[in-house]
C-alpha cells in the first residue's frame, strides 16, 4: 500500500495534506455560502413523511374536534429557526381540526413566540377563532419543572389568570379544567430544560394515560428523548426534517387559501440543510483523503 502513496505525484499529495490542515475560517466561509445560497434561491426538495411525523399527525387527528389541547412553547428565539416551523404547523393543525387550544411557555421568551404564532398563524389562517373560547394564551410562568408539577395538581395555582390578566375562572375554554389531565393532548415544542423531558417526567408520570403527549425537539436533544417514544410520547418531531415532513401532512389535509409561507418554513429550511449536509460530507471525505495521503492506507488502518 505504501507504493500507492508513492504513485501520487508529490504536488497532489502535498496539496491534499495541506487541505487536511485548512484554516477553519475557510470552512466557516464555505458553511456561510452553503446556507445562504439555497436560502436566497429558495431551494425546496420533496419530503417523504417519516414514522414519527406520521405518529404526531395521527395523535392530533385521533382526538375528537373540540378537544382541549395545551401547546407549551418551551423554546426561545435562539432555537426558533429549528422549532418555529413545527410549532406553527402544530398550531395550524389543532386549529384546523377544531380543537380548543391553550398556549403556555416554560421559557421566558417562549411567550412572545406564542404571541407571534397567535397573530401570524391562528388569526391569519383562522380569523373566526375567538380568544377565550377557541384559544387562550396563558403566558410564561417561572419555576421550570415546578410549574408542570403544580399544573398536574392544580392549574389555577400555576396560572391564576391568562397572559392578559383575565382570571382563568372567567375563560370559557378552561371551564372545568382543573389539572393538565383535563387536556386531551399536550404538545411541548422543546429546546432543552425545562421541556419535553420534564413534561414526561413530571406531567405524564403524574397522570399516565390521562392525556396524549407529543413533542417537537431540536436535533441535538432528540437522542435524549428517543427512549420515551412511543410509550410516553405518542409522536415526536425531530428538527427541521421532522417539521418539514409534518408540514407536508398538515397542509395536504388542511390546505390554506392565503399565502402559506409560514406553513412551509420547514420545507424551505430543508434547502440550506440539504446543501450544508452535502458540504459536511464533502469536508469529511476531504479530511480522510488528506489523512490517507499523509499516512497511507496502512497508517490509516492502525
Partner 1 sequence: MRRRSTSVVRESVRLLQRVGEYAAACVPFACVAMALFVARDVAASPMPPAAENLRLEDAPDDAGGVLVVFWKTPDPAASAGVVIERSLTAAERAKNANELWIEVERLGRDAVAGVDGSYVLKGVPSDEDTRVRVSILGTDGELSEFVESAPARPEVSLFAFKRLPLLLTVIVVSLSVLVWVALARSGRPLKIRRIAALDAVDEAVGRATEMGRAVLFVPGIQDMNDIQTIAGLTILGRVAQTAAEYDARLEVPTCRSIVMTAAREQVQAAHHAAGRPETYAEGNINYITDEQFGYVAYLSGHMMREKPAACFYMGAFYAESLVLAENGNSIGAIQIAGTAEPSQLPFFVAACDYTLIGEEFFAASAYLSGERDQLGSIKGQDVGKAFAIGAILIGTALATIAALNEGGSLGMWAGSAVASMRGFFGG
Partner 2 sequence: MLQRTIPLLILSASGLILILSYFSPITETWSEQVVSWFNILAGVAFVLGAGNLLAVNLEKISSKRPGWAYSAITLVSFGAMLVVGLSKWGAVPDAKHPDVHLAGSQDSTQAGYGWAYEYVLSPLTATMFALLAFYVASAAFRAFRAKNFEAILLLGTAFIILLVQIAAGAFLTNWIPEDSFFAFLRAESLKAIVTEVFQTAGMRAILIGIALGTAATSLRLILGIDRSALSKG
- Strand-by-strand arrangement of the 185-190 sheet: 135-140, 100-105, 68-74, 185-190, 212-217, 235-238
Contact predicate 268/44, CB 8 Å: yes
Closest distance to partner 2 from the beta carbon of 216 (Å)? 16
Nearer to partner 1, 69 or 121 (CB): 69
Residue 165, C-beta contacts closer than 8 angstroms, at least 6 positions apart: none
**Total of residues contacting partner 1 (CB under 8 A):** 20
| Position 181 contacts partner 1 (CB under 8 A) | yes
2 contact choice in partner 1, partner 2, none (CB below 5 to 8 Å, kind-dependent)? none
Nearer to partner 1, 5 or 193 (CB): 193
18 contact choice in partner 2, partner 1, none (CB below 5 to 8 Å, kind-dependent)? none
Closest distance to partner 1 from the beta carbon of 154 (Å)? 7
What is the pattern of x (binds partner 1, CB under 8 A) and - over residues 17-36?
Answer: -------x------------
Query: Which whole-number Å values give the CA distances from 234 to 12, 94, 134, 279, in the listed order?
Result: 54, 16, 24, 34
Chain residues binding partner 2 by CB under 8 A are: 22, 24, 27-28, 30-32, 35, 45-48, 50-51, 76-81, 109, 111-112, 115, 139, 146, 163-165, 222-224, 226-227, 239, 241, 270, 273-274, 276-281, 283-284, 286-288, 291, 300-302
282: Cα within 13 Å, side-chain hemisphere: 11
Helix, strand, coil abundance in the chain, percent, nearest 5: 60, 15, 30
Say how far apart CA 299 and CA 302 lie, in whole Å: 6
Nearer to partner 2, 37 or 278 (CB): 278
276 contact choice in partner 2, partner 1, none (CB below 5 to 8 Å, kind-dependent)? partner 2
Query: Which whole-number Å values give the CA distances from 169 to 109, 146, 154, 161, 175, in the listed order?
Result: 26, 22, 13, 8, 7
Residues 104-163 that bind partner 1 (CB under 8 A): 153-154
Say how far apart CA 172 and CA 4 lie, in whole Å: 77
Q: Where does the chain show beta strands of DSSP type E? A: 68-74, 100-105, 135-140, 185-190, 212-217, 235-238
| Position 182 contacts partner 1 (CB under 8 A) | yes
43 contact choice in partner 2, partner 1, none (CB below 5 to 8 Å, kind-dependent)? none
Sign of CA dihedral 85, 88, 94, 99: positive
Closest distance to partner 1 from the beta carbon of 238 (Å)? 12
Longest dimension (CA), the chain: 83
| Position 64 contacts partner 1 (CB under 8 A) | yes
154 contact choice in partner 1, partner 2, none (CB below 5 to 8 Å, kind-dependent)? partner 1
Which parts of this chain interact with partner 1 (CB under 8 A)?
24, 64, 78-79, 153-154, 176, 178-179, 181-182, 192-193, 207, 210, 220-221, 223-224, 231
Amino acid at each position: 500500500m505504501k507504493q500507492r502513496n508513492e504513485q501520487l505525484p508529490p504536488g497532489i499529495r502535498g496539496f491534499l495534506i495541506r487541505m487536511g490542515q485548512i484554516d477553519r475560517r475557510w470552512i466557516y466561509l464555505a458553511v456561510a455560502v452553503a446556507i445562504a445560497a439555497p436560502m436566497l434561491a429558495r431551494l425546496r426538495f420533496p419530503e417523504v413523511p417519516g414514522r414519527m411525523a406520521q405518529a404526531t399527525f395521527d395523535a392530533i387527528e385521533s382526538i375528537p374536534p373540540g378537544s382541549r389541547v395545551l401547546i407549551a412553547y418551551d423554546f426561545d428565539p435562539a432555537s426558533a429557526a429549528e422549532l418555529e416551523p413545527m410549532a406553527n404547523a402544530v398550531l395550524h393543525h389543532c386549529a384546523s381540526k377544531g380543537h380548543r387550544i391553550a398556549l403556555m411557555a416554560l421559557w421566558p421568551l417562549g411567550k412572545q413566540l406564542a404571541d407571534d404564532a397567535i397573530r401570524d398563524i391562528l388569526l391569519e389562517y383562522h380569523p373566526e377563532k375567538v380568544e377565550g373560547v377557541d384559544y387562550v394564551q396563558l403566558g410564561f410562568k417561572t419555576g421550570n419543572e415546578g410549574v408542570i408539577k403544580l399544573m398536574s395538581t392544580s392549574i389555577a395555582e400555576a396560572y391564576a389568570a391568562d397572559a392578559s390578566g383575565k382570571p382563568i375562572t372567567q375563560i370559557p375554554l378552561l371551564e372545568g379544567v382543573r389539572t393538565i389531565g383535563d387536556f386531551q393532548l399536550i404538545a411541548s415544542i422543546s429546546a432543552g430544560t425545562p421541556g419535553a423531558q420534564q413534561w414526561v417526567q413530571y406531567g405524564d408520570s403524574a397522570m399516565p394515560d390521562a392525556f396524549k403527549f407529543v413533542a417537537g425537539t431540536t436535533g441535538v436533544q432528540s437522542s435524549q428523548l428517543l427512549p420515551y417514544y412511543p410509550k410516553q410520547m405518542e409522536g415526536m418531531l425531530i428538527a427541521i426534517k421532522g417539521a418539514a415532513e409534518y408540514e407536508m401532512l398538515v397542509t395536504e389535509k388542511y390546505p390554506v387559501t392565503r399565502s402559506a409561507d409560514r406553513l412551509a418554513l420547514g420545507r424551505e429550511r430543508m434547502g440550506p440543510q440539504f446543501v450544508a449536509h452535502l458540504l459536511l460530507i464533502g469536508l469529511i471525505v476531504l479530511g480522510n483523503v488528506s489523512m490517507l495521503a499523509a499516512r497511507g492506507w496502512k497508517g490509516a488502518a492502525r
